[in-house]
Amino acid sequence: MIASFSSNDRDPAVRIRIGRCVYCESTRYRKKDDRRLGDEHVIPESLGGNLILEQAACEGCERKVNLFEQSIMKTVLYAPRVHLGIRRKKRKRGEDTLTLDATVNGKEVKVSLPIKRVPLMLFFIMMDAPGILIGRPANIPSFNGAWVKPFLEHGPRMPQGLQGMATPALDTHKFMQFLAKIGHCYAVSVLGHTFKPILSDMILADPAPPPNFYLIGSYGNARTDDPTANLHELDVSWQSADGVEYAVVSIRMFAKLGAPTYRVVAGERK
C-alpha cells in the first residue's frame, strides 16, 4: 500500500475530516465551551502546505505544536519561504525583514535587513535510515551531513561597516519534532485507525526531546534526489523490520529545489 500526496504553491486546499485530536484523541477543543476542534495543516500553511486535517487538534495540543512549529518557521524555514515567494494570505508587519546578530564596526549589534537582500541558505540535516528499520540501536546518532541551497540571487547588499553575521540557527531538537508532526499527521490522514501511533509523546514534549534517530532519518549519502516539479511531496508505505510492519512516511519539502527526503516511522500496523 502506498499513498502519495504532492502539492504546489497555489494548489487548492485538500481537506480531510478527522473529528478527534490527532495527538491526544480528545473530541473537545477545551472543557469550558463547545468550540469545535481546530484544523491542522500537515505541512504549515506558511510553507505552502495545502493538506488540512479538519477538526483535528485540541487547544492544549495545538499550543504545544505551535511552540516548535513557530520556532522552525521563524528561523531556518523563514527566509527560504520569502525568497521563494510562497503565497501568504495576510502580510504581517516585519515579515519582509530579518533580525540577525551582526558585527558592525567592531560592535556586536542586531541588524534588521530586507530578507531578499540577505544571503541565506535553506539547510537540511542528513541522517541515515531510521534505526528501527535497519536494526541500529536507539542510542546511536545518525547525523551524516547537510544539504544546503544558497539564496543569493537578490543580494547581498550589506550595511556599511558590517564584518560578519550569524544566520538563524537550526534547533535540531525542534526540527525533529517538526518532522514527527508532519509524519504523524500524514499517517493519520491516510491510515486512520489502522495503525498504532508512536510519535505523539515526542510531538507533545516540552522542552523538545533530544533527536530520535530510531524513528526519524533520511537516506543519508546513499541517495541523491533529483528536483521534481512539486513544492512538497508526502507518501506513506508499510515496511517490515524484525517481523513488525511499520507505517513509514516519506517527507520531501522543497522537492523542486532538490531537497532530501526524510523518513519518519509513525507507528505499527494494528
Q: How far is the CB of 188 from Zn ion (least distance, A)?
A: 12
- Counting every residue written for the chain, the total comes to 270
Q: Minimum distance between the CB of residue 33 and Zn ion, rounded to whole angstroms?
A: 16
Phi, psi for residue 202 in degrees, rounded to 5: -65, -40
Nearer to Zn ion, 64 or 116 (CB): 64
Provide the minimum distance between the beta carbon of 26 and Zn ion in the complex, in angstroms, as a whole number.
5
Q: Which is nearer to Zn ion, 21 or 82 (CB)?
A: 21
Residues that bind Zn ion (CB under 5 A): 21, 23-24, 26, 58, 61
Angle at 131 between CA 220 and CA 141, to 5 degrees: 70
Give the Cα separation of 252 and 258 in Å (integer): 9
Q: Say how far apart CA 236 and CA 111 lie, in whole Å.
A: 43
Nearer to Zn ion, 58 or 122 (CB): 58
Alpha helices in 96-145 (DSSP H): 131-134
- Residue 16 Cβ, how far from Zn ion at the closest point, in Å? 17
Nearer to Zn ion, 23 or 175 (CB): 23
E-only strand ranges, the chain: 2-7, 14-17, 38-41, 51-57, 97-104, 107-114, 120-127, 143-151, 162-166, 195-197, 216-217, 232-241, 244-253, 262-269
**SS3 call for 66:** helix
By beta-carbon proximity to Zn ion, the closer residue of 27 and 228 is 27
Set of cell numbers at residue 221: 549519502
The distance of closest approach from Cβ of residue 22 to Zn ion in the complex, given in angstroms and rounded to an integer, is 8
Q: Hey, what's the cell of 100?
A: 540577525
CB of 221 to Zn ion, least distance (A): 38
**Taking the CA of residue 255 as centre, how many other CA atoms within 13 Å lie in the half-sphere pointing to its CB?**
20
CB of 63 to Zn ion, least distance (A): 10
